[in-house]
């Protein structure tokens, strides 16, 4: 009986992990729609964050929010994967209305599809970003 319980718990755990990796509640489309619906409120919030230069992460709608010195405010809507391979998704406010690298790390973007992409020359790190609206961008970064 004990073996059966352990087997069932292990199976349920595997199903939960697989579901978490497959089902992504914050898809690109849903994030873009969210930003467009809430653009005024988000813009006011991002500009306030830029004015105040806070230290450490903030929170918005349950998402971590980070301020970066180049007037970028990043909203991390989720991450998934196992170390050392993790994918981060979210959106950001760009005061200069230019695409920025994940966590405002400077990268050499190239035009790609509807947005811009970057790939590490000697590795597997990548990022893709698309403009949602003036000053707002969606991103997916893989490390």
95-106: pLDDT as tens digits: 999 999 988 888
d(Cα 54, Cα 8) in Å, to the nearest integer? 46
Please report the pLDDT score of residue 16 as a whole number.
43
d(Cα 66, Cα 57) in Å, to the nearest integer? 5
Residue 61, C-beta contacts closer than 8 angstroms, at least 6 positions apart: none
Nearest to 126 by CA among 101, 103, 104, 99: 101
Please report the pLDDT score of residue 3 as a whole number.
65
Please report the pLDDT score of residue 106 as a whole number.
87
Please report the pLDDT score of residue 6 as a whole number.
59
Is 60 within 8 Å of 90 (Cβ atoms)?
no
Please report the pLDDT score of residue 17 as a whole number.
43
Please report the pLDDT score of residue 80 as a whole number.
76
Residue 5, C-beta contacts closer than 8 angstroms, at least 6 positions apart: none
Please report the pLDDT score of residue 19 as a whole number.
40
Residues of the chain with pLDDT under 70: 2-26
The full set of domain ranges for the chain reads 27-142
């Amino acid at each position: 009986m004990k073996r059966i319980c352990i087997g069932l718990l292990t199976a349920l755990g595997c199903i939960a992990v697989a579901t978490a990796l497959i089902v992504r509640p914050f898809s690109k489309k849903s994030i873009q729609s969210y930003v467009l619906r809430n653009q005024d409120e988000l813009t006011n919030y991002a500009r306030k964050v830029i004015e105040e230069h806070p230290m450490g992460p903030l929170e918005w709608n349950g998402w971590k929010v980070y301020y970066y010195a180049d007037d970028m405010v990043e909203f991390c809507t989720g991450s998934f994967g196992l170390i050392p391979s993790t994918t981060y998704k979210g959106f950001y406010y760009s005061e200069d209305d230019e695409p920025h690298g994940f966590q405002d790390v400077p990268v050499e973007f190239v035009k790609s599809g509807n947005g811009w992409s970057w790939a590490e020359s000697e590795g597997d790190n990548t990022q893709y970003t698309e403009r949602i609206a003036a000053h707002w961008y969606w991103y997916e970064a893989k490390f």
